[in-house]
Structure 1
């Protein structure tokens, strides 16, 4: 791969720093063999030594370290592009119409699967199978909710799975029912969703590889060069290996294999073998060093694990996926195999349990550089905030969620009540406590685009709506903190802070070319910031 010289623009070597950019009409950065060779004033001499280098004219734009996404679901995001486009539907009728149109255009598809719909379009997020029957009564239809913890199925799909009034409530799942006991049409959490998964035909390898290709290309178009795939099943690992072999990966990805509460003991050897297969491939963009645990569900479906009852459901404290003893045993076992631990925790009880588990793991296995991750950290009891820094836990939050949107008003706050509603997305409190922040998107739950998310973290409201009041404004953080969380923070999570997250000689050439410096942009204008190019290991991917 030839050397590349970037000229006629500005260079921001580290987005978490307020240092002035280096600007020049001449060279500002030189890349060779996938690494940064020279930056700033030294770039001119390095460029002169490479007269055959490719020249990139930044046209007055700004070159920055590429961004990372510390928590996402790439195959699911890519698969959404292959099914009915329901994400933009604004009512149930819109979803039904989109499914009907897609079904008519794809008569060869035995099952119709898509995602993801807005759960606020029906009261309490409860959708009726009969509504989908209007779109397609004969073929099974299964749609994922935006949260990917719930599916909505039509009557044909429920029949195929044998789900009826006599079906017992599954462990680790819920089946909302009509007054006569028949299933309404939505299935909540993995224990219930698995009843459908058991009878639905699996996606083909070709479909999965195409989904990964589409997903990683979408990330490259956003200036993102690394993502944590936070839910990899065995079929996904196989698809990533195939995608790597077909040069279908546009960015770096680390795979987090999902630990099953009912089967984790039998997963230990296969997980280690899958990691070894990925490592043996030696592909520079693919690793599999992480294990993912779903500690609980989500607030919006009353499945997040809470320390006290839900405000609108006395006696209900959610649906924990693990007992404390089993989670400690599983986490300790996978840690002993050298895996990084990545725990989904939403409720205050789930976050406390996750922190307790990390303490127990260190007691059992001794100290080492673990960098355990709590993803989402949605509702944090104030007493638990300082424990992140004390235990070296990476707080991976999704800044786009830190605003008073329809979901917050209609579902989240009524479920939590006024006191716990103020314990959400405690970005400033975590930062001030010394916790390591590494941001993510949870795509396709919400957008993979870091720009509106970064603006939301600064404003605590939707960008472009200055008339809206900031939500929990005391939890706002500065733009430098946010950009650091998307670059150095995600590099830290990836154990790559010594080679990614900033632009310096010897670092990987993971770069993004923007039309302006995001540190000085009006936060309301951040979503309009243009991304002209993305390089991963020195190769242009967008």
Structure 2
């Protein structure tokens, strides 16, 4: 029997003008007719690119035997091991040979929760992320302002919120650098802003300003605004008067951001916070060939405007689907259930130790969140909920459970992102509800941020229940990893190093922090590849990715060493030698 296989993505995928080549594969001995077997028929007409990877370890997954050779044609995996070598040996085609040099080939990484647009935009402002003190940040703002006298506003990100007591930064510190123009800096968490006095003045934020809905204005003893704004209800007061980035700047930001991701071995990113004004930038970036990764958009559902905003959310999805670009989708809706622990807006079941904000802040009432999730679920969207505190995690799971009950069974793959703190009673609900826990493994360490801002707010007992990755996995829950970049490093290997050790870069504490939650390297690699692919519904596409098997899309990453045999502290030093999206090279260390 002869089987004809049609490929829709080729190495031309990343060109400005996307070409779809439909190539029937015929003319070669058919080795198997099962996607789970070792080969597909190998084309003899030369119309599809062919690449053979060999001389290294090819990781097929935690429960599979490593392969030694892999053949790609037309952007898909067509053969493995001896079948790959046999197909090449009998072919007259020109085949590119990639000598892995003893390296490690695996399914490419995905990022289940990130903000690539924001990450790319950081490069347009002062480089405050590197500042290790308030004085260094202020000096960088001064330098940037002097070098860019034409800029009406000085906008930058993202400073370390632990550099000032309780994360509270004074406008007067920035006034020393720039007093005649407004300055607006986002903190690393993107839930907090530090601004100068001129920015407060233009936003008309004064001692008489009431506390905004879903926000907070920290004040001095005399009632005047300090210069720190917390959560979007307060930050929006500044955003309303700050000129937006241009379309060209946003497109360039996405070009830089996705190129950065390709250099880290990533081929799919969940942008977890997209607003209506950003849609044009994503469409333009796709059309102009500016994307080096696949991106799925999660449109923000704002409790202050929902459900009136629902038609606009549906229309935004329709625009993306109408473009039909293979690298851009819009399947998801983003909800914030709460804020973050570090500014005490993360929602907790029990009060904060300081008591400043008592139980924190729920962005939606439980009833409104459940209703909203059921509404967007009925429209076919995937739910993606930011939930940091244990109260927020419970409310998020309750909302998803409500949608399941109201709308009936279907393959939802709802996501709860972060899951920093979850009550024991809620851990088993992830598996029973089919909810994917998309977590940030890099955060599971006792770094300065944890010691200065987090542990004092949660206390010792609750702190030891953070980031329960092993417990969730053992419960049968689906685990996916993400970086939340630019909040923290976008490099998957940085996160995997922490997930497999629970230590800082200095190896502290010895034996790991909360060692019972340490996971194996294979579990961590799977969470950053197959786990994210499941979140992305990759298995339901014509060419599934996130796996190495016959018929799958050749989304691959070539590492210089085997992470399974590498000490966690050395994992971040493993080189990314090549990244391949549907067989197309999006990053090559040899071409730098």
Give the alignment's Cα RMSD to 1 decimal. 1.4
Separation in 2, partners of 1:152, 1:315: 20
Separation in 2, partners of 1:497, 1:165: 55
Q: Is 1:534 aligned to residue 575 of structure 2?
A: no
Q: Deviations over 1:10-45 (max 9, x none)?
A: 2424243363x333xxxx222222211222221123
**Paired residue for 1:38, among 79, 84, 92?**
79
Q: Is 1:296 aligned to residue 338 of structure 2?
A: yes
Tell me if structure 1 keeps the 8 A contact 2:500–2:568.
Answer: yes
Q: Deviations over 1:458-503 (max 9, x none)?
A: 1110245266451111111111111110111000000113611111
- Residue-pair matches, total: 537
Tell me if structure 2 keeps the 8 A contact 1:129–1:155.
Answer: yes
Separation in 2, partners of 1:312, 1:398: 26
Tell me if structure 2 keeps the 8 A contact 1:140–1:154.
Answer: yes
Residue 427 (structure 1) shift: 0.8
Which residue does the alignment assign to 2:102?
A: 60
Q: Is 1:465 aligned to residue 511 of structure 2?
A: no
1:225-374 paired onto structure 2 within 5 Å: 225-313=267-355, 316-374=358-416
Which residue does the alignment assign to 2:557?
A: 512
Structure 1 consecutive aligned stretches of length 4 or more whose deviation exceeds 6 Å: none
Q: Is 1:22 aligned to residue 63 of structure 2?
A: no
Which residue does the alignment assign to 2:117?
A: 75
Tell me if structure 1 keeps the 8 A contact 2:303–2:364.
Answer: yes
Tell me if structure 2 keeps the 8 A contact 1:4–1:56.
Answer: no
Separation in 2, partners of 1:292, 1:376: 13
**Paired residue for 1:47, among 88, 105, 110?**
88
Sort the Cα spacing of 1:369 and 1:536 in 2 relative to 1 into closer, same or farther, 3 A: same
Separation in 1, partners of 2:141, 2:357: 38
| Greater Cα offset, 515-524 or 403-412 | 515-524
Tell me if structure 2 keeps the 8 A contact 1:17–1:480.
Answer: no
Q: Structure 2 stretches of 5 or more lacking a match?
A: 1-10, 12-47, 588-592
Which residue does the alignment assign to 2:51?
A: 5
Q: Deviations over 1:266-320 (max 9, x none)?
A: 2211111111111111111110000000010000100001111111116711111
Q: Deviations over 1:167-200 (max 9, x none)?
A: 1000100000001111000100010000001111
Which residue does the alignment assign to 1:96?
A: 138
| Greater Cα offset, 312-321 or 243-252 | 312-321
Tell me if structure 2 keeps the 8 A contact 1:173–1:192.
Answer: yes
Separation in 2, partners of 1:519, 1:190: 41
Tell me if structure 1 keeps the 8 A contact 2:52–2:95.
Answer: no
Sort the Cα spacing of 1:451 and 1:301 in 2 relative to 1 into closer, same or farther, 3 A: same
Separation in 1, partners of 2:294, 2:242: 31
Separation in 2, partners of 1:203, 1:46: 52
1:242 partner SS: helix
Q: Greater Rg, structure 1 or structure 2?
A: 2
Separation in 2, partners of 1:94, 1:4: 51
Residue 222 (structure 1) shift: 0.4
Tell me if structure 2 keeps the 8 A contact 1:143–1:153.
Answer: yes
TM-score normalised over the length of structure 1: 0.97
Separation in 2, partners of 1:46, 1:188: 60
Which residue does the alignment assign to 1:217?
A: 259
Tell me if structure 2 keeps the 8 A contact 1:16–1:488.
Answer: no
Separation in 1, partners of 2:407, 2:161: 42
Q: Deviations over 1:383-418 (max 9, x none)?
A: 111111011000011000001111111111111112
Separation in 2, partners of 1:221, 1:304: 33
Residue 520 (structure 1) shift: 2.0
Tell me if structure 2 keeps the 8 A contact 1:11–1:40.
Answer: no
| Greater Cα offset, 498-507 or 249-258 | 498-507
Tell me if structure 2 keeps the 8 A contact 1:13–1:502.
Answer: no
Q: Is 1:428 aligned to residue 473 of structure 2?
A: no
Tell me if structure 2 keeps the 8 A contact 1:298–1:304.
Answer: yes
| Greater Cα offset, 512-521 or 299-308 | 512-521
Sort the Cα spacing of 1:296 and 1:466 in 2 relative to 1 into closer, same or farther, 3 A: closer
1:10 partner SS: strand
Separation in 2, partners of 1:464, 1:123: 24
2:401 partner SS: helix
Tell me if structure 2 keeps the 8 A contact 1:463–1:523.
Answer: no
Residue 51 (structure 1) shift: 1.9
1:85 partner SS: coil
Q: Deviations over 1:339-391 (max 9, x none)?
A: 00000000110000001111111111111100100000011111111111011
Sort the Cα spacing of 1:269 and 1:183 in 2 relative to 1 into closer, same or farther, 3 A: same
Tell me if structure 1 keeps the 8 A contact 2:554–2:581.
Answer: yes
Separation in 1, partners of 2:62, 2:114: 22
Tell me if structure 1 keeps the 8 A contact 2:345–2:357.
Answer: no
| Greater Cα offset, 45-54 or 166-175 | 45-54
Tell me if structure 2 keeps the 8 A contact 1:13–1:504.
Answer: no
Separation in 1, partners of 2:442, 2:186: 20
1:102 partner SS: helix
Separation in 1, partners of 2:319, 2:191: 30
TM-score normalised over the length of structure 2: 0.89
**Paired residue for 2:182, among 132, 137, 140?**
140
1:81 partner SS: helix
Sort the Cα spacing of 1:103 and 1:52 in 2 relative to 1 into closer, same or farther, 3 A: same
Which residue does the alignment assign to 2:14?
A: none
1:243 partner SS: helix
Residue 55 (structure 1) shift: 3.0
